[in-house]
A and B are shown apart, each in its own frame.
Chain A
Amino acid sequence: DQQVKQNSPSLSVQEGRISILNCDYTNSMFDYFLWYKKYPAEGPTFLISISSIKDKNEDGRFTVFLNKSAKHLSLHIVPSQPGDSAVYFCAASALPGTYKYIFGTGTRLKVLA
């Protein structure tokens, strides 16, 4: 059973608007979360992280929110740009500094110009 779920396989957003990508997890021991971005024919690249001591982490246009009680995190991109069109993966772990993250299946974001 998937411990990390991205229930929306795809999302389309108009350029300049907000993109919200969601991620749910089932294991309450998860305390460390990552988001990756992947362009076609390229490997994933790390985007932003958050740990459970915070409920928000911001990096430029990208903000990750964590609701630990709901076992839910979301990635907000504001404003969305066509270059943001990619597949976004969330990942979760119970341990810091590990490489054994559990990844979701990804959400394909398309930003329309």
Chain B
Amino acid sequence: GAGVSQSPSNKVTEKGKDVELRCDPISGHTALYWYRQSLGQGLEFLIYFQGNSAPDKSGLPSDRFSAERTGGSVSTLTIQRTQQEDSAVYLCASSLEQSITEAFFGQGTRLTVV
């Protein structure tokens, strides 16, 4: 596709369940970023992938959060044993090289934990 695609666009899950959020970056983009925006908060960095290098996971808020990027393309963010404070909009972005100002963001996945 022409842009960064995220799925699902909305997800409602019960507390304690696991969820997977998917990001399809722009073809050829080696850099991929995950952010989230909780209600009343600014965007918060979660994790960064660059090519085949080890990802920068320093923004993940707990060990319930993990992400992978298969074949340098599609990325999946997994949240285990979801909690209500995980409710947020999760945004994925990609860029040719590391440059957040040149990154294209997806429309986000709105996660609601009930």
Most buried by A among B59, B100, B104: B100
Chain A: interface residue count, which band? 20 to 34
Q: Are B42 and A105 in contact (CB under 8 A)?
A: yes
Interface footprint category on B: 20 to 34
For residue B107, CB closer than 8 A to chain A, the reply is yes
Q: Which stretch (A12-20, A65-73, A75-83, A95-103) binds chain B?
A: A95-103
Q: Which residues of chain B are within 8 angstroms of A99 by Cβ–Cβ distance?
A: 33, 45, 48, 98, 100, 103
Contact partners of A102 in chain B: CB under 8 A: 42
Q: Tell me whether A98 and B44 are in contact in the complex, defined as CB-CB below 8 angstroms, given that A43-B105, A43-B108 are known contacts.
A: no
Q: Say whether B4 faces chain A, with CB atoms less than 8 Å apart.
A: yes
Nearest A residue to B102 via CB reads A46
- Chain B residues near A49 (CB-CB < 8 A): 101
| Interface of chain A: mostly helix, strand, loop or mixed | loop
A30 proximal to B (CB < 8 A): no
Interface residues of B, Cβ cutoff 8 Å to A: 4, 33, 37, 40-45, 48, 58-59, 91, 93, 98-108
9 new A-B contacts, CB < 8 A, other than A97-B99, A102-B42, are: A42-B105, A43-B106, A45-B104, A46-B101, A89-B42, A101-B43, A104-B42, A105-B41, A105-B42
